[in-house]
Amino acid sequence: MTEHYRMLIDGQKPALDPAHALSVVNPLTGQTNAMVSDATAEQVHDAVTAAENAFTTVWQRTPGVERARLMNALADLIDGHADELAQLETDDNGKLLRETRTQAHFAARNYRFFAGMADKIFGHTIPLDSYDSFDYTVREPLGVAALITAWNSPLQLLANKLAPALAAGNTVVIKPSELAPRSTLRLGDLVREAGFPPGVVNIITGGREAGEALTSDPRLGRISFTGSVGTGQAIAAAAARTLVPVTLELGGKSANIVFDDADLDRAVIGAVAGIFAAGGQTCIAGSRLLVQAGVYDEMVSRVSARADDIVLGDPSLDTTQMGPVANAPQLERIEAMIAAGRDSGATITSGGERPTGSDLSPGLFMRPTVFAGVDPMARIAQEEIFGPVLSIIRFETEDDAVSIANNTDFALASGIWTNDLSRAHRIARRLVAGTVWVNTYRSSAAQAPFGGTKKSGYGRERGVEAIEEYLRTKNVMIDLSDSVRDPFSIQA
C-alpha cells in the first residue's frame, strides 16, 4: 500500500484527500514512492493564517535565545535522522545517497549557524543635529515568509531559507516541489518534536494552484524562491501586485575557467565534479568549461575519458558515481538540448545518449555528455540544461575568458583554475557572478553568502547577509526637551 505523507498546518497533519493527491515517483524504478496532498487554495489560506496567528501571538514575542534553543534542537534531530532524510530525498530525486546525507548534515550546520545569530540582532543609536533629540533603530521580523524550494536539493535549499527566517523571528509557510517533497514533510515531524509552537512552521504540498495561492497572498512579509527563471519571473510579478519583497535563487550557466598554468590534475577533477557530481542538476553546475588554448586538447581528452568512466546506477550504492535524472520532463529537456548541441556543429567526445543495459533500463538515466568545439553563443552554451552535459570552449587570453564567461543571461557562480595568484584576483574582480571559486568548485559553507545577479536572481542566502532578507528597520525618534515647540516650525 502506497504511503501517504501529510502536510503540516498549525501543528496538525490533515488527512490526505484522494481527490486532491499527487504521486511521488522514484526516478530509478519508475514506481510510486508515496502520495502527497495537492493543496487547495483554501488549505494554503489556512496555512498562512496559522503562520500569521503564531507570529502575532507567540513567535514575535519569543526571545532570540529561545529561538536559538529550538533551532539547535532541530539541528540535533536532523543529524540524528540524516540517514532517513537522505534516503527519502534520494528515492525522490535520484541524487547519490552519500551526497543527500552530506547535505542533511550541512542543513543542520546552517540551523546552528543562524541559531547563533538569533539573539544578536542589534539596532543602532543615531546622533542627530538636535541635542534634544534621541534616535535609534530596531531590527524587526517581517512576519510570515513563504519558502518555496526546488526538487534537486530540498533539505539544503530549505535550510538556506528557514534557518535565517526563524532566527530573525518570522513564521513560515513552506512549499517543497511536488516532485520531491518527502524529506521536507518528514522535517515537519522533527520541527514538532523539537518543540516549535504550532503554526510557526507550516508545510504545504501541491502544484500550480497551491503555488499561485501562496505567492499571491498579500499577508506575506517575504517570498523566497529557488527554481526556474520562468517560475521566478511569475512569482516576482505576483509579488509586485501585493508589494511583497522577494528573494530569487534561479538558474545558472556557470563558467569554469582553466588557464594553461593550472594544475591540470586538480582542474580535471574540478571540471568533472563541477558538472557531473550531481548529474548537472544544480544551479551552480560548471556547465561551461572554458580552457586556454595551450592546454585545450589535453583537457578535452582527459575530461572526456573521466566522463566515460563514470559509473551509473542505483544512487543508494556506494559504487555508483551518478544516479538517474530526477524526473521525466527533465530528461526530455536534456535530450532536446543534446540534439541542439549536435545541430550547432559541436563535437560529442563522450556520452550523448541514454545507456543501454537491463539493470538501468527502468531508470531515467543519461550518460555523462561532453561537447568540444562549442561556439560560446550556441544554445548549449547559453541556456541552462540542468543535466549532465558539459560544453568545452576554447579561449586565448584573459580578456577572451572574461568576455565569454560574462556573456550570458546568468551570473550565479564561476571557477578559476590557475597557479598565478595575481591572475586569480584579477579575474575574480572582473567576473560577473555571485560566487567565484579559485582552484576548487561547488564548495559551500554556512558562513559564505550565496546568490546571483542578472537572470540568476537577487538576494542572498547563507552568511550574515541572509538574515537581512528577513528583517526590516524601524526608526524611533524621541524629543527629550522640556519645552513646547511650535509644530509649524518643525521640518518634516
Averaged pLDDT for residues 250-272: 98
Return all residues near 118 (Cβ < 8 A) that are at least 6 apart.
64, 65, 67, 68, 71, 166, 167, 168, 169
pLDDT tens digits for range 314-340: 999 999 999 999 999 999 999 999 999
pLDDT tens digits for range 291-319: 999 999 999 999 999 999 999 999 999 99
Catalytic: which of 52, 99, 383, 461?
Answer: 461
Give the span between the Cα atoms of 109 and 103, in whole angstroms.
Answer: 10
Please report whether residue 484 resides in a domain: no
Instruction: State residue 359's pLDDT score.
Output: 81
Let me know whether 21 and 123 are in one domain.
Answer: yes
> Please, what is the average pLDDT of the chain?
96
Question: How many domains does the structure of the chain reveal?
Answer: 2
Let me know whether 184 and 272 are in one domain.
Answer: no
What is the band of 490 on the pLDDT scale with cuts at 50, 70, 90? low
Please report whether residue 487 resides in a domain: no
Please report whether residue 243 resides in a domain: yes
3-state DSSP assignment of residue 471: strand
pLDDT over 90 at 362, yes or no: no
Active site residue 454: no
Residue 357, domain CATH: 3.40.309.10
Let me know whether 207 and 295 are in one domain.
Answer: no
Please report whether residue 481 resides in a domain: no
pLDDT tens digits for range 380-411: 999 999 999 999 999 999 999 999 999 999 99
pLDDT over 80 at 488, yes or no: no
pTM (2 decimals)? 0.95
> Cell match 543527500: residue?
100
Let me know whether 317 and 386 are in one domain.
Answer: yes
Active site residue 84: no
Let me know whether 223 and 303 are in one domain.
Answer: no
pLDDT over 90 at 492, yes or no: no
pLDDT over 70 at 268, yes or no: yes
Q: Calculate Rg over the CA atoms of the chain.
A: 24
Instruction: State residue 228's pLDDT score.
Output: 96
Catalytic: which of 95, 283, 383, 455?
Answer: 283
Residue 15, domain CATH: 3.40.605.10
Instruction: State residue 356's pLDDT score.
Output: 83
Question: What is the number of alpha carbons within 13 Å of residue 394 lying toward its C-beta?
Answer: 11
Instruction: State residue 360's pLDDT score.
Output: 87
Scored b (16 or more CB within 10 A) or e, 281-304 reads: bbbbbbbbbbbbeebbeebbebbb
Active site residue 209: no
Let me know whether 264 and 238 are in one domain.
Answer: no
Please report whether residue 419 resides in a domain: yes
pLDDT over 60 at 352, yes or no: yes
Let me know whether 156 and 273 are in one domain.
Answer: no
Alpha helices in 443-488 (DSSP H): 463-468
Please report whether residue 480 resides in a domain: no
Instruction: State residue 1's pLDDT score.
Output: 61
Averaged pLDDT for residues 39-43: 97
Bridge partners, 35 (sequence order): 4, 23
Let me know whether 267 and 120 are in one domain.
Answer: no
Catalytic: which of 95, 99, 161, 384?
Answer: 161
Please report whether residue 451 resides in a domain: no
Q: Side chain identity at 86, as an amino acid letter? A: A
Let me know whether 387 and 462 are in one domain.
Answer: no
pLDDT over 60 at 198, yes or no: yes
pLDDT over 90 at 63, yes or no: yes
Catalytic: which of 89, 249, 383, 469?
Answer: 249
pLDDT over 60 at 50, yes or no: yes
- Which helix or strand (DSSP H or E) is residue 479 part of? strand 471-479
Active site residue 249: yes
Averaged pLDDT for residues 362-367: 94
Let me know whether 244 and 359 are in one domain.
Answer: no
Let me know whether 80 and 195 are in one domain.
Answer: yes
Instruction: State residue 287's pLDDT score.
Output: 98
Let me know whether 214 and 323 are in one domain.
Answer: no
Domain range for 303 is 255-438
Please report whether residue 342 resides in a domain: yes
